[in-house]
Chains A and B, each alone.
Chain A
Amino acid sequence: MAEVKTAPAIQEKEPLFGKKEKKLITDPLTDNNPITIQVLGICSALAVTSLVLPSLVISVAVVFVCAFSSLFTSLLRTKIPKSIRMIVQLVIIATLVTIVEMVLKYFSYPVYRQLTIYIGLIITNCIVMGRLEAFAMANKPWRSFLDGIGNGLGYGFILVAIAIIRELFGKGSLFAGSIAEIKIIGASPDYLINTMADGSWFGWYSNNNLMVLPVAAMFIIGIFIWIQRSLNPDLVDIS
């Protein structure tokens, strides 16, 4: 793309990776998490998190889209006409998402086929556009880029955490659908803990189908929010 050639504003006086910059990455992971504090991107957090693998791919894609849409928006922030700024932001996001889709089709067609609709849905992920409006339109490119990475990671980290819980208790496995699949608990000798084996301590166990349903993600996010706010009472009533 033509815009890529404009180097990020290194000539600024601020350090490339000072305290403020570090905070841009770490804040969204904890005290300003897009999902648990800003409560953005909930829709996709409910939909894709039944398995770890799709959650991981979506997270990587969101980090990419979030970071680069912030970068481009910030580079163009003085040029973008105010009256159509949201349309411009959407075009930038949609372009990047389409690129993600093409890259997946090219390098990993089976993964693309597994995610099909969810890739397109990144366009509607509130986190991406939310960060463009709230941050990239008012900040310099390098810091916007970091903010994009930070928020993408904060979103992805919660997504994968939910997916690990849901897949483990819902299906008894981790990373199902990839070559790295680990079968942990289930009713067959393929699993590390075989609930059907003679004298197994886990004869009572069966997978919890509720975990596979989107509603389980709702409960898990709720519990995350509860834990986080109990540990840090300052966060109560922030959002």
Chain B
Amino acid sequence: MESTNYVVGFTLAMTVIVALTLSSLFYGTKDQVAQNADVFNKRAILSAISDKLDKPVSDFSDQDVLSLFEEKVEQKVLDMSGDAVDGIMAEKVDMAKESKKAVEDRQLPLFIYNAGGEKIYIVSVRGSGLWDAIWGNVALQSDFTTVVGASFDHAGETPGLGAEIKDNPAFAKQFGGKKIYKDGEYVSVGVIKGGAKDIAYEVDGLSGATVTADGVDEMLFRGIKYYEPYFGKAKG
């Protein structure tokens, strides 16, 4: 049996070597990783309006994504009464942190895409899937009623099941053209198990991923509603 001193010494040496290796790797990759994450998020926002872009979002290079955002996307941050908050960019709003705050204290990111005279409003929503958080972006026309498109992502849904909200383009594609108001009443876009019945306001759920699909349904209903005060003000 080794002496206690040897065991303690070995542990300390091992800890120092491992800590140094990992922290230097972390610092070496930090900037690139931050940029990768930024591009990834912006790509997700753009895929909500993929019908309005001249090529699929996956064909844009990282640089294209950043410059398109720079040129054509206006960023606003709103408070819960629909007024703009100054001095912060929408891309800096951390939805995970916001969702932990009391509802009335939250900030809402809003991205406005200028497509040749037409304005498209992209709102962000966040909720819970089966295992972990899910989130998404919903693009609305300037009537604040018609959905242009949507994109979704998740922290840890099962590949092939819940993860289909992100991986299966057919799921997000269903949202184009749906309405979130029915006869003036807010209904959001329903995600329906077993298939949409009222196709103007509903989309099909995912078989084998009922909990995730219900999470998307709940997230959309609650998340888009937060923007209602702004819709009212913007319509004037």
Contacts of A116 in B (CB 8 A): 155-156
Output the least CB separation between A82 and chain B (Å).
7
Q: Which residue on A lies nearest to B167, using beta carbons?
A: A177
The verdict on A54 contacting B22 (CB below 8 Å), with A2-B17, A109-B36, A113-B153 known, is no
Which residue of chain A has the shortest Cβ distance to B35 in the bound complex?
A109
| Chain A 161-210 interface residues, beta-carbon cutoff 8 Å to B | 166-167, 170-171, 176-177, 179, 209
- Tell me, yes or no, whether A125 is within 8 Å of chain B by CB: no
Total interface residues on A, CB under 8 Å, equals: 38
Q: Name the B residues within 8 Å of A30 (CB-CB).
A: none
Instruction: Give Cα A1 to B22, complex, Å.
Output: 9
A206 to B15, CA, bound (A): 54
Q: Is B159 an interface residue (CB 8 A)?
A: yes
Which of chain B's residues has its CB closest to A2's CB?
B17
Shortest B11–chain A CB gap in Å is 7
* B2 interface hit (Cβ, 8 Å): yes
Could you tell me the distance in whole angstroms from the C-beta of A89 to the nearest C-beta in chain B? 11
Q: Which residues of B contact A170 (CB under 8 A)?
A: 160
Assess whether A95 is interfacial by the CB under 8 Å rule. yes
Return the contact of B33 from the options A95, A105, A171 (Cβ within 8 A). A105
Instruction: Say yes or no: A114 contacts B25, CB within 8 Å.
Output: no
Closest chain-A Cβ to B130's Cβ sits at a distance in Å of: 12
Shortest 9 CB-CB contacts between residues of A and residues of B: A50-B160, A109-B36, A81-B2, A81-B7, A106-B29, A117-B156, A212-B160, A105-B33, A95-B18
A-B pairs with beta carbons under 8 Å apart, 10 shown: A50-B160, A51-B160, A79-B10, A91-B18, A106-B33, A109-B39, A113-B40, A114-B159, A170-B160, A209-B207
Q: Which residues of B contact A (CB under 8 A)?
A: 1-2, 6-7, 10-11, 14-15, 17-18, 21-22, 25-26, 29, 32-33, 36-37, 39-40, 58, 131, 153, 155-156, 158-161, 163, 167, 207-208
